Amino acid sequence: MTEPAPVYASGVDHERLTAQLRFILEVDKLKRILRRNLLVDGSRRENDAEHSWHLALTARVFAEYAPAGTDIDRVVELLLIHDIVEIDAGDTFVYDAHASRSQRERECVAADRIYALLPEEQGARLRELWEEFEAAKTPEARFAKAVDRLSPMLANWHTDGGTWVQYGVSKEQVMEKVRIIAEGSEALGSYAAALIEDADRRGYFAG
């Protein structure tokens, strides 16, 4: 990647700003990482940048369905950075068991490189946020995971089964993801379960 242009402004730590610019320009690549699922209108595949923005907005709109005391600002942060590692690691399809086995290793290597582009304390904080999302131990991370798992379900339902049909996904496989949603939000988990039952009636699942 070409280094940020040497433009100088008074009162600015130029080394710090250059590192921040380097990171911002690097994560622009997220716009070209395609996910498997389609947009809701079925016109094309979604990219990671669109996905992350949409999840962050969804979390804000759905804040009332988060457990009491959940810090929605932190949820938004988690969702904005959770897929940055896919710049290097690529998008791992949630129902691809083979690719999922190496996912953690690939994404950790990516996190080591990408977050290190930032000034040390900023990079460390974003890396900690990413690890928090992955571990799903906090209410914020579990709610973020719930929103992340619900989004492709909505897209698939609105595209006549979408990737469920395309890749022969079973109802049982999808219900495992509904469990993750319910762990983050009882209300969203209940909605997701009803959505999957309707999708089953429509014949969107294999088997």
Q: What are the tens digits of pLDDT across the range 139-164?
A: 999 999 999 999 999 999 999 999 99
At 42, the amino acid letter reads: G
Domains of the chain (ranges, CATH numbers): 14-201 (1.10.3210.10)
pTM of the model: 0.93
Taking only the tens place, the pLDDT of each residue in 85-119 is 999 999 999 999 988 999 999 999 999 999 999 99
Closest of 181, 205, 207 to residue 193, by C-alpha: 181
Q: H or E stretch including 49?
A: helix 48-61
- Mean pLDDT score, 28-40: 96
Cα 188 from Cα 59, distance rounded (Å): 11
